[in-house]
Structure 1
Amino acid sequence: MEFKDLEIFQMVAKKGTITEAAKELSYVQSNITSRIQKLETEMNTALFNRHNRGMTLTPEGKKLLVYCEKILKLTNEMKKVVQSKSEPAGKLEIGSIETVIKLPVILSAYNKKYKNVDLSLLTGVTEQLQNDVLNHNLDGAFITEINQHPELVAHDVFQEELVLISDNTKTSLEQLKKEPFLCFSKGCGYRARLENWYKDQNITPQKVMEFGTLETILGSVAMGLGITFVPKSAVSHLEEKGLIQCHYLPEKYSKINTVFIRRKDAYLTSTLEKFIETFEQSKGEPAYPLT
């Protein structure tokens, strides 16, 4: 059995068809087919159910996939350890919530200094990003601070003040209690904070509307569609232009920390180590304003 066979098996399981797997791996379909057949012969069992719509894993195939993912993750970590150099190089996959206002400063500084690193960024909500780091899908992520997971290390980045924002026609908290709540999906730390405030105030939002991007949420609030709860640093430019109004909640709900998480048991490559150094050094620097 070769590592490449496991990579092909994993991709076919993910894509569900030989055609899509071949396209993703830049292989000819016949090569994919022969590799899967070879693996099934070695395992002495069928790993896929073949049907008109593609291929699905058999019970034995599902068992193999669990071990396959573990083996490939360990293989990738082994390569990082062996190939680690003083000069960062290779892939670095970072996740972040959308409201880290200093992120452009951090990414720009790192990219300019370490040009041999292929840096990629995935945005999402805190809960999903934490799961991605735990499952080795990301090297690290900027998230809102939640209960410390025993398998993760958290580095403090900065503290934020959250504000409840509305358009300029609403001037009191009483008015805001009746407004639709615009937010990211479940798993967002800011959403959880405002939901705690609702609960403590015995408020049931008349409507909760989920959006995929911060830009859409802020634009919708400015147009009077509803309210949202976000870092003040992310909306101060809108407040200065008179497009929105900020409302303040008690510190219990409004103060929140942003942290950078990584796996405790994963090898700390020079690539990731230098990234951590970069955002540590940026703590005292001003952020570029959002536009």
Structure 2
Amino acid sequence: MELNDIIIFNELVNLESTIKVANKLSYVQSNISKRISKLEKELGTSLFERTNRGMILSSDGKRFLPYAKQMIQNYNDIKNEFLLFDEKYRIGATQSISKNYLQELYTDENYEIYTRSTTELVGLLHTCQIDFIIVNQEINDLDFKLLFTIEEKLIWVKSNLNDNNLKDCKVAISRDKTCPYRQRTLELINREQEGKVIEVDSLDILIDLMEKKNIISILPEKLITVNNKLTNYNSNIKAYSKLYIYSLKNNDKIFNNSILSI
């Protein structure tokens, strides 16, 4: 019997939907069903009744629920008791945040850095595989506590070799529609530039394009301090984004924001 299966069971009790649990824990929906079936096989009973209204606890499921909650609580108690002396901090962040703020921590033996999408980071935090996540969008989750926010200034970024006027450059943005840098860019570009927008799938591709082509993008000012091939295009835009640092509510570890190289 695996702890992750117990966590999935508990979430399914709360949400009554495999789709909702899959979204919350960043699993494929079919995996949620498989894990529950595996748990039921191990226990030799059905824990849920499958109805048109969703997954409803069976009588044996109701009997098992307090044991499941106690197992999760015991795990958290053990983790808090013994990992208080563990100096290793597990921090998850998106690609841009890892590149701009966490590079120095990769070689620090006190930290483990996980670079994932926001959805994947939420799943890792839910299953206690990391201690903190740093993301650039607000997350409304009752299991999370917001530790603090950091405001980051956004600027037009270009290659040092790019001498073209702003109107003559193509504009690169993330294909991820939830990306705040994409959203700010689309808010600020004019109609003439709208036809010159290029969508890319990763920050590395975007940076590579800017370094080699006449391409610009609205990104955190921090980026030009960690990449000497890029510079600020002299344009007085007033644009900002926020970084959000979250942990689970029962996490007693203290996050020191001085590690972020702000």
Give the letter aligned to residue 77 of structure 2: V
Residue in 2 that maps onto 1:213? 202
Note the 1:266-281 alignment, pairs <5 A. Answer: 266-270=249-253, 273=254, 276-277=255-256, 280-281=257-258
Alignment counterpart, residue 173 of structure 1, candidates 153, 166, 169: 166
Q: 1:41 to 1:184 in 2, by over 3 A?
A: same
Distance 1:206 1:193 in 2: 17
List structure 1 runs of 4+ shifted beyond 6 angstroms.
2-5, 8-12, 71-74
For the residue of structure 2 that corresponds to 1:121, the secondary structure is strand
Residue in 2 that maps onto 1:141? 133
Is 1:8–1:36's contact at 8 Å kept on the other side of the alignment? no
Note the 1:179-194 alignment, pairs <5 A. Answer: 179-194=170-185
Distance 2:160 2:141 in 1: 41
Give the letter aligned to residue 15 of structure 1: N
Which consecutive unaligned segments of at least 5 residues does structure 1 have?
Answer: 22-31, 48-57
Distance 2:148 2:125 in 1: 16
Q: 1:165 to 1:232 in 2, by over 3 A?
A: same
Which consecutive unaligned segments of at least 5 residues does structure 2 have?
Answer: 10-26
Give the letter aligned to residue 223 of structure 1: K
Q: 1:34 to 1:168 in 2, by over 3 A?
A: closer
TM-score, structure 2 normalization: 0.62
Q: Structure 1 residue 121: deviation in Å?
A: 0.8
Distance 2:69 2:126 in 1: 9
Distance 2:224 2:182 in 1: 16
Deviations 1:7-65 (A, max 9, x none): 598799643897xx7xxxxxxxxxx98854465743485x6xxxxxxxxxx8587556x
Note the 1:127-276 alignment, pairs <5 A. Answer: 128=119, 132=123, 139-144=131-136, 146=137, 149=140, 151=142, 152-157=145-150, 159-165=152-158, 168-176=161-169, 179-198=170-189, 201-202=190-191, 205-206=194-195, 208-224=197-213, 226-236=215-225, 238=227, 240-241=228-229, 244=230, 246-253=232-239, 255-263=240-248, 266-270=249-253, 273=254, 276=255
Q: Structure 1 residue 214: deviation in Å?
A: 1.8
Distance 2:117 2:37 in 1: 35
Is 2:80–2:251's contact at 8 Å kept on the other side of the alignment? no
Q: 1:77 to 1:155 in 2, by over 3 A?
A: farther
For the residue of structure 2 that corresponds to 1:142, the secondary structure is strand
Residue in 2 that maps onto 1:52? none
Distance 2:41 2:28 in 1: 12
Aligned residues: 234
Deviations 1:144-188 (A, max 9, x none): 3x5685854142456344333257455222223xx2433251111
Give the letter aligned to residue 142 of structure 1: I
Q: Structure 1 residue 196: deviation in Å?
A: 1.5
For the residue of structure 2 that corresponds to 1:186, the secondary structure is coil
Q: 1:230 to 1:12 in 2, by over 3 A?
A: closer
TM-score, structure 1 normalization: 0.57
Q: Structure 1 residue 129: deviation in Å?
A: 6.6
Distance 1:236 1:44 in 2: 54
Q: Indicate the RMSD between aligned Cα atoms, in angstroms.
A: 4.8
For the residue of structure 2 that corresponds to 1:258, the secondary structure is strand
Distance 1:60 1:262 in 2: 32
Distance 1:8 1:257 in 2: 31
Give the letter aligned to residue 236 of structure 2: P
Distance 1:181 1:90 in 2: 37
